[in-house]
Chains A and B, each alone.
Chain A
Amino acid sequence: MNQLLAFIFKFRFFIVFLALELICMWLIFTQNTYQRYAFLSSSNALAGNVFSVSDNISGYFHLTAENQTLVKENARLRNLLWSLSPNVNTDSLRTDSLEYEFIPAKVVNNSFLQSNNYLTINKGRKHGLKPGMGVISTLGVVGKIKACSENFSTVYSLLHSNIMVSSQLKKSKTLCTTKWEGTDYTEASLLYISRHVEISQGDTVVSSGSNAVFPENILIGVVNKVDNNESESFQNIQLKLATDFSNLSYVYVINNFSRAEKDSLESASTND
């Protein structure tokens, strides 16, 4: 017994070291599966406030670029309005406007150079946000909400190893999946496109709308490189992402009103 105690005493620092490392590993491997650690993410009140103060100051330096994006977005929406206005009243089957609500939010913290990237936005539970909602910018898909506090939310960026976006080719409606490879923040790859599908450089990839996170036809990117290798069952496709992750200031959170219904229906049908 004495020997055992002496042994423990001799290696006490190593034991403390090992214990702390085990706690770290446990945190690393469980952080993406458990929502209860939300207070240990950047959406907690302290981190959120620090980021929003520093963003208030640095925000002034991006005003010109931000205005330009907003002007472009305005022009695009105006065009859309003109092209829609003749049949807005007659097309009673259009339910898009009722199905989704877009909640604007400001990005107070953004990372795009890590291997797993996150954003912090200045809207939280108080504004009706919930984990799992999709986030888009004026340019395209941004990510998905990870955790919410009262006033802030942490968002998984599309540049995260856990995020896969259900997508489709705009011209042929072929379903596929977009996933980030972990290195370049302007590119992603497109998975599960069989070799017989014709695809060429410059094709547009949009969200498929099949999983209730994003509405249909939100821009994801443009095909940049196609490698049709005979020995593989799928094509290797590189995508130029539409969203400029190095410069994000305003985003929209998508609240899908029919999501709960869709999810419960799908889980009911998989249980059968």
Chain B
Amino acid sequence: MAQTNLLSTAFSFIAYIILQVVFLKNVALFDIAFCFVYISFILLLPIDINRFTLLVTSFFVGLTIDVFYDSLGIHAAACVLIAYLRTYIINLLQPSGGYDMNAHPTIQELGFQWFVTYSFLLIFIHHLCFFILEASNFELIIHSLSRALASSLFTLSAFIILQFLLYFKRKRAL
């Protein structure tokens, strides 16, 4: 069981990297909204995952993206930040009955409203961190903020579409 889990996680890791690097690298709506859909890999890891594993995995996800984007360290820094904050945000948004064992943070398991709040918060933190580090210039702060906000909305829409495409179909098939 654990082995198939690991295998499917590794597969989705590669799938997200290829999706991001090959198809979404130069996609930008109105030149300001970027789509960093690969972070859904980090956001969709199981809720009770070991925090240490979560941090290290996120670091390597970020680093891999950095290699393709030539932005060494920037994506990794933003990913490690959301991996750290993810636990607190999950606790903050805990429903009254608590989470089920082995729950995944998806629309299917925790509802649309919960998912949108959870992912928007983390996406926005990631994008803010990313764009500020990327510009590394406080004269461009308005530029970075507008990019972060526009990109968050774009990424969130892509997230929700992916969720409906991938996970709901699988449920019906089973």
* 7 further A-B pairs in the complex, CB-CB below 8 A; given A25-B77, A40-B72, A109-B25: A13-B55, A24-B59, A24-B62, A27-B66, A114-B69, A115-B137, A120-B70
**Given A40-B72, A47-B67, A113-B31, do A21 and B26 touch, yes or no (CB 8 Å)?**
no
**Chain A contacts to B: CB under 8 angstroms:** 12-14, 16-17, 20-21, 23-28, 31, 37, 40-42, 44, 46-47, 50-51, 54, 109-116, 118, 120, 154, 161, 182-183
Main secondary structure of the interface of B (DSSP, over half): helix
**Given A24-B73, A110-B26, do A41 and B84 touch, yes or no (CB 8 Å)?**
no
Is there contact, CB below 8 Å, between A17 and B67? no
Give how many A-B residue pairs fall within 8 Å (CB-CB): 103
Interface size class, chain B = 35 or more
Interface flags for B134-153 (1: CB within 8 Å of A; 0: not) read 11110010010000000000
Residue on A nearest B60 in the bound complex, by CB: A20
**Chain B contacts to A: CB under 8 angstroms:** 18, 21-22, 25-26, 28, 31, 34, 51-52, 55-56, 59, 62-63, 66-74, 76-77, 80-81, 83-84, 87, 131, 133-137, 140, 143
Residues of B within 8 A of A14 (CB): 84
Contact partner, B73, options A28, A47, A114, Cβ 8 Å: A28
Residues of A within 8 A of B83 (CB): 17
The docked-state distance in angstroms from the alpha carbon of A14 to that of B51 is 10
Is there contact, CB below 8 Å, between B74 and A28? yes
Is there contact, CB below 8 Å, between B68 and A115? no
